[in-house]
Structure 1
Amino acid sequence: MSTYDPHSERFFQIKRITKTTLRGLHVLSIAGAGGGILLQIPDAQWLNYWIMTMITGCLLMLWEVVRDWRWLIQLKGVLTLLKIAILMCFTIVPEYKVELVTIIILLSVLVTHGPSSLRHYSIIHRRQIHSKEEIKG
């Protein structure tokens, strides 16, 4: 009988491939939905990509929050929440969908590929935090 070890190499590899697959699906779905929006193709032609974007995005956010709630106060979390707020503007000002999706894509690049000092900056602590051990609570 084997025991569950969340720190085992096998468990780590399963988590890694799961998150990488989820990210890949998210990028693919963004390409489909974003392309549809940018090229102003009828909604019905890219709606499935949009739905997949929302599902994978929510799962990735949930993954981060469950892993460490402090993600929500680091710029990588705060900027992700900002992207969601911008998404909500699609219903308020639909005539600006192209501009809004452009801003979202540029913010995504900043969050994903920006320097660690930016992504890990805590808006509450006014400094970088990389782990749970760096702050109390």
Structure 2
Amino acid sequence: MKKALIPDFTGKRWLKIGLRTLHLIGFAGVFATALNEVPQPEFWLITIVSGLGLLALEAMSNFIWFVQVRGFVIYLKMGLLFALYVLPEYALIWLILIITISGVISHAPSSIRYYSFIHGRKVTSLKDTKG
């Protein structure tokens, strides 16, 4: 069974750090846009492109990501972004929820982040799914 479409490579960690940094800069701009009610689409573009890059890198590096809490949190945040699009009058609430969820999950123990809903336990790779 193939374990990943994107195997580990030199510089992968720094690529993730760079994408995450761009994502934070973009999201800060999106939040400022919501606070000031001044459209600045370039921040949305930075946030979306860096977010999709992070998602692709994580998901394609370890397929188990799709059923872990950390993957589910991304689905949840994407749902909140959709809510922002549908109900923009609540933009600050949706954005604060996204920040809160992101902060909690990024600092949660690995037993929570890597918990698999399918397996009912912490699973960090496809090798852990046996037994």
TM-score under structure 2 normalisation? Answer: 0.87
Aligned residues: 124
2:37 alignment counterpart: 41
Superposed CA RMSD in Å reads 1.5
Structure 1 runs of 4+ off > 2 angstroms?
A: none
One-letter amino acid matched to 2:22: L
Asked if the contact 2:64/2:124 (under 8 Å) is kept, the reply is no
Larger relative contact order (Cα-Cα within 8 Å, sequence gap ≥ 6): 2
Residues 53-75 of structure 1: CA distance to partner in whole angstroms, max 9, x if unpaired?
Answer: 01100110000111011111100
1:31 alignment counterpart: 28
1:40 and 1:92 mapped to 2: Cα distance?
19
Residues 75-126 of structure 1: CA distance to partner in whole angstroms, max 9, x if unpaired?
Answer: 0000111100110011221111110011011111122111111100111111
1:94 alignment counterpart: 88
1:132 alignment counterpart: 126
1:95 and 1:112 mapped to 2: Cα distance?
28
1:3 alignment counterpart: none
Structure 1 residue 85 corresponds to structure 2 residue 79: yes
2:70 and 2:32 mapped to 1: Cα distance?
24
The percent of aligned pairs where both chains have the same amino acid is 33
Larger Rg: 1
1:16 alignment counterpart: 13
1:94 and 1:41 mapped to 2: Cα distance?
11
Q: Secondary structure at the match of 1:97?
A: helix
Q: Secondary structure at the match of 1:62?
A: helix
Structure 1: segments with no counterpart, 5+ residues: 1-5
2:46 alignment counterpart: 52
1:94 and 1:42 mapped to 2: Cα distance?
13
2:101 alignment counterpart: 107
TM-score under structure 1 normalisation? Answer: 0.84
2:3 alignment counterpart: none
One-letter amino acid matched to 1:21: G
Structure 2: segments with no counterpart, 5+ residues: 1-6
